[in-house]
Chains A and B, each alone.
Chain A
Amino acid sequence: MKFGIFYELSVPRPWDKEAERTVYMNALEQVRLADELGFDQVWAVEHHFLEEYSHCSAPELFLTACAMQTKNINVGHGIVICVPQFNHPARIAERAAVLDILSGGRLQFGTGRSATWTELGGFQANPDETKKSWDEFVHCIPKMWTQDRFGYEGQYFSMPSRAVLPKPYQKPHPPMWVAVTSPGTELDAGDRGIGCLGVTFASFAEQEAKVKEYRRRIQNCNPVGSFVNDQVATVNFLYCHEDNETGAKIGMHMIGHFNYMAAQLDMAKEAYPAKSYPAAGLLPSLRRQASAPGEQAKAPEGIAVGNPEHLIGELKKWESSGSDRVNFLLNAAETIPQAQVLDSLRLFAKEVMPAFADSPPQHAAAGGAS
């Protein structure tokens, strides 16, 4: 099993001049340390207008900075919103290729479609159409990367034949993923031969069922890219401390803040009735574990907060449920001081990572040949 880190880049009010810069600089310091400690991936989301919850609207810039300050860690561009009002697919292909070149072939490419009315309404995108535009984009982007020229007439975009440049450094192209939020998207991932990037906080049982079906479907997939990426990643929180109770207390405090910020957004399911958004994104599971800022609740099943021994136990269960990778949120709204976040990373690398060093890989590592 491999471990990565995952950024929403939440910025708490008050938004003084330094607030956003502090969050970005702290994140970069964490990424540099994570690279030194052997973490495998750093992911950054694309979100727009999500006050406090995520100020990460230009992840390709943040990830470029990450790439230029690190040596080994993969940079996960994801998810990129595959909706024409947000991004033209040729621009997505171009930006991703540049990031792959600058990182020396370390790009992981995640796709998705947004789950909030805050964003969809902001760009005047039709929630009924996002799944279809995502599908069109993920079929076209690999062709933009691999064909000398690409021309297309489709439902959500059309373009005359042009050379989409530059081409990615990885050949044939970087590994592709899709964010799995709505039920059934794991099946879309399997059918298209792309990685399953969990971005919701599922239970072990839910995750195991999803992974099982994903593994079954991907056997007979019709890959959208030039190769199949059959990796499953899940998302988690991380706060590791020598003392289990202290770790759980500080970790749950962070999670409480994350939940609280996420809950303020208008989810597509809530605001706009459409069959394309059957679930309210990550919020149902968060509300099940509802806690307010400052409340100290018991760490829910599978959440990686506590001492190393506890974390090893929980992460072994994720491994057993079929996950190849776990990507961790390290902080939310800067509730945990930076020094403690860094200490948590160091302790995790020292005490927890070795317990997974000899784990047989669930599946071959994702990656196009460089």
Chain B
Amino acid sequence: MPVFGKQDVEAAAARAPLMTGFDTDSWELKGAQILQLSYEIAEEPAEWLIPPALHPSIPPYVTLSVMQYPDSQVGPFALAQVRIIVRAGIRPRGYLLGAYVNSDKAAQELRARWGFRVETAIVSLQARHDRVIGTVERNSETILEVELENPEHISGADVTYLASLHLARVQDRDTPVVVQVDPEYVFHNAQRGRPRIIAFEPSAWGGDGRLRYTSPIIATMTQCDTDLPRLRFALDPSQPAATGGWRLAA
């Protein structure tokens, strides 16, 4: 049997956001720009970053994303997130370690509706001809600065964005849950290039500062229409996903 996560769910849940319930409306997010870097990470910490419901992928890796949404129900916002790639049973997913958004209103909605573990910070995304730069600055400290270097155009069909899993607490529920957030994407433009991490503060991105990135994989930048959908699946973070999941909505 593959390795299971060893995260202390109780401790992690204490820091998890409180959702108002599972029944949330979707948000349409047109004209999004998404910068995503993939980096392999050290194995041993990987197991401690994810709950026992999930397996780390082989080899374990993370995605570091900076996203800009020009229009939403709460106005424009920019979001940055770090996810560790996992397997929920046989399904590849990204387990959210931490996120920052540049709007208080968006932060509130993201926590309450989709279980984002998110705080506010200055988040920016700059697309230039020679590179794309994403940064997150909190309390005058740069906690993330990443680049896609030498972008080259590719087909959007070649880009795979994995659905996310968020650890959250839910009102009127005693135990924490992991909810699946699985946006759809219609790509208008896609590029890829060499990923480069210029600044990364592990302690700012969950996992008690354990995260250690190792080898670069790839960076992509896309322009797309996407969404934050209704929640469809949830799972018990303490049980193997193959048996501990349930459907929320059709």
Chain A residues close to B by CB (< 8 Å): 12-13, 49-52, 117-118, 121-122, 259-266, 269-275, 278, 286-287, 290, 292-293, 295
Contact of B215 among A118, A121, A260, A269 (CB under 8 A): A121
Contact of B2 among A260, A274, A278 (CB under 8 A): A260
Query: In the complex, which residues of chain A have a beta carbon less than 8 angstroms from the beta carbon of B157?
Result: 278
Which of A50, A118, A266, A290 lies at the interface centre, i.e. has the most chain B CB atoms within 10 A of its CB? Answer: A266
Given A273-B220, A292-B90, A266:B243 Cβ within 8 A = no
Q: A13-B2, A293-B242 are in contact. List 13 more A-B contacts (CB 8 A).
A: A12-B1, A121-B40, A260-B90, A261-B2, A263-B87, A271-B61, A273-B159, A273-B218, A274-B158, A275-B158, A278-B157, A287-B90, A290-B91
Contact of B89 among A117, A265, A266, A292 (CB under 8 A): A292
- CA of A275 to CA of B192, assembled, Å: 12
Query: In the complex, which residues of chain B have a beta carbon less than 8 angstroms from the beta carbon of A290?
Result: 89-91
Given A270-B160, A273-B190, A287-B91, A264:B217 Cβ within 8 A = no
A-binding segment of B20-28, B51-59, B121-129: B51-59
17 residue pairs from A and B, CB less than 8 Å apart: A12-B1, A117-B217, A261-B2, A263-B91, A264-B2, A265-B57, A266-B58, A270-B162, A272-B218, A273-B160, A273-B190, A287-B90, A290-B89, A292-B90, A292-B242, A292-B243, A293-B1
A121:B59 contact, CB within 8 angstroms: yes
A265:B58 contact, CB within 8 angstroms: yes
Query: In the complex, which residues of chain B have a beta carbon less than 8 angstroms from the beta carbon of A261?
Result: 2
Which B residue sits closest to A271, measured CB to CB? B217
Query: In the complex, which residues of chain B have a beta carbon less than 8 angstroms from the beta carbon of A272?
Result: 38, 217-218
- CA of A275 to CA of B190, assembled, Å: 12
For chain B, give the interface size range: 20 to 34
Judged by a CB distance under 8 angstroms, whether B197 is at the interface is no
Query: In the complex, which residues of chain A have a beta carbon less than 8 angstroms from the beta carbon of B242?
Result: 260, 292-293, 295
Which B residue sits closest to A292, measured CB to CB? B242
- CA of A286 to CA of B61, assembled, Å: 23
Distance in Å: Cβ of A288 to nearest Cβ of chain B: 11
Distance in Å: Cβ of A157 to nearest Cβ of chain B: 24
Chain B 1-26 interface 0/1 with A at a Cβ cutoff of 8 Å (1 = within): 11100000000000000000000000
- CA of A273 to CA of B34, assembled, Å: 15
Distance in Å: Cβ of B195 to nearest Cβ of chain A: 11
- CA of A47 to CA of B162, assembled, Å: 25
Query: In the complex, which residues of chain B have a beta carbon less than 8 angstroms from the beta carbon of A286?
Result: 90
A51:B154 contact, CB within 8 angstroms: no
Query: In the complex, which residues of chain B have a beta carbon less than 8 angstroms from the beta carbon of A278?
Result: 157-158
Distance in Å: Cβ of A245 to nearest Cβ of chain B: 23
B160:A51 contact, CB within 8 angstroms: no
Given A121-B217, A266-B59, A292-B242, A271:B38 Cβ within 8 A = yes
B218:A51 contact, CB within 8 angstroms: no
Which B residue sits closest to A286, measured CB to CB? B90
Query: In the complex, which residues of chain A have a beta carbon less than 8 angstroms from the beta carbon of B159?
Result: 273
Which B residue sits closest to A118, measured CB to CB? B58
The 6 A-B residue pairs whose C-beta atoms are closest, nearest first, are: A292-B242, A263-B90, A273-B158, A264-B2, A273-B159, A272-B218
Query: In the complex, which residues of chain B have a beta carbon less than 8 angstroms from the beta carbon of A52?
Result: 1-2
Query: In the complex, which residues of chain A have a beta carbon less than 8 angstroms from the beta carbon of B91?
Result: 263, 287, 290
Judged by a CB distance under 8 angstroms, whether B175 is at the interface is no
Contact of B160 among A122, A269, A275 (CB under 8 A): A269
Distance in Å: Cβ of A331 to nearest Cβ of chain B: 16
Judged by a CB distance under 8 angstroms, whether B85 is at the interface is yes
